[in-house]
Amino acid sequence: MVRVLREFLPEDLDTIQLYSGGTEAVEAALRLAKSVTGKHEFLSFWGGFHGKTMGSLALTAGARSGLGPLPPGYFSAPYANCYRCPFKLRAPECGFACVDHARDVIKENSTGALAAIVVEPVQGRSGNVVPPRGYLAALGEVAREFDALLIADEMMTGFGRTGAAFAYQHEEVRPDVLTVGKGMGGGYPVTGVVASAETMAAAPFSEPSASSSSFGAFPMACRAVAATTSILTEDKLVDNAATRGREMLDQLADLTELAPLVGDVRGAGLALGIELVVDKQTREPAPKSLVQRVYLELLEAGVLVMLGGNTLRLYPPLTVDRAQVETAVGIIRETLIGMGGEG
């Protein structure tokens, strides 16, 4: 597994510590950042999702009701969700106002102990929100300004999902740490923290048992990682995700004009989102009942999607072919155009 995996991982991020769950890996990444920097504060982003244990939950803005108190030293800023920009600006003319605001959030809230900026290259829970090119690189610059790490949470996006081995590779940016999982094991419960050997050597993270996990490197899961990674490479599934994803996005894009309920269509590779609204001018989100109705109609017609608020989340398998794309797109188009502006 290690040999196969190292060929797939970025050259400068060549060391991995294995875990069994996503939140466990994120918690480990936070401990690693503390070990490297000697600091304890973290910046994350609105709409993100990083897990449900206390540290990762503290990173997950907006999903904390009834679960306090949470650990101190965590604060959040708006993500680059251009369709719902809180500053009412447009990219690229905005000059990444959201990044400037993130910098201000750090200045106003930090005690000078920022350990890391934690960000998803594509936000899955919020409906596969794809930030404009240059956003991650700009966040990397902010991290360096504060002598902090940049942690890319690639739990949903890593291992080919976005048409690149890792989603951050769509930009010229180098995260210090990655968290990976989901597609990594082809359905088996396995996750990991990826960094350089130098970063991983930081204490106390590197001390005996300090970064271990009861079921980390479980033999069956390791075999699944080796098999999955080999298939991704041999069958060129990352390239397939890029090609099929472009086809889907191109064929769905005009729904913003043809389907009254569709406010935005976006995606990166085979992680796509169709955001439903009841008013395209105000962008008022479609109510849960309407979104659920669309979901059920698609399901009955043969297309299974996930939901993220008022957004349909599309995650076709990386093995999807052109004919399957055309069939799925046809069903989605017919369903959404046929529903008209019904409430």
pLDDT per residue, tens digit, the chain (343 aa), is 888 998 899 989 999 999 999 999 999 999 999 999 999 999 999 999 999 999 999 999 887 889 889 999 999 999 999 999 999 999 999 999 999 999 999 999 999 999 999 999 999 999 999 999 999 999 999 999 999 999 999 999 999 999 999 999 999 999 999 999 999 999 999 999 999 999 999 999 999 999 999 999 999 999 999 999 999 999 999 999 999 999 999 999 999 999 999 999 999 999 999 999 999 999 999 999 999 999 999 999 999 999 999 999 999 999 999 999 999 999 999 999 998 655 4
Examine the domain organization and report whether 165 and 72 are in the same domain: yes
Query: Are residues 116 and 192 both part of a single domain?
Result: yes
DSSP line for 38-87: S--EEEEETT----SSHHHHHHSTT--TT-PPPPSSEEEE----GGG-TT
Last residue of a domain, one of 185, 207, 234: 234
- In terms of Cα–Cα distance, which of 103, 170, 173, 126 is closest to 285? 126
For residues 220 and 250, membership in a common domain is answered with no
CATH number at residue 284: 3.90.1150.10
Is residue 226 domain-shared with residue 258, that is, in the same domain? no
Identify the domain boundary among 219, 234, 249.
Answer: 234
* CATH number of the domain bearing residue 111: 3.40.640.10
241 shares a domain with 229? no
- Considering the domain architecture, whether residues 242 and 218 belong to the same structural domain is answered as no
Are residues 241 and 230 part of one domain? no
- Burial zone of 174 (CB within 10 Å; 0-12 exposed, 13-18 middle, 19+ buried): middle
The count of domains in the chain is 2
Show which of 172, 204, 234 is a domain's final residue.
Answer: 234
**What are the beta bridge partners of residue 208?**
none
Task: Answer yes or no: do 202 and 261 share one domain.
Answer: no
One domain, residues 6 and 101: yes
Q: Do 210 and 277 have their domain in common?
A: no
Question: What residues make up the domain containing 216?
Answer: 2-234
CB 298 within 8 A of CB 288: no
What is the pTM (predicted TM-score) of this model? 0.96
Same domain (yes/no): 165, 277: no
| End-to-end Cα separation, the chain, in angstroms | 51
Residues 221 and 252 in one domain: no
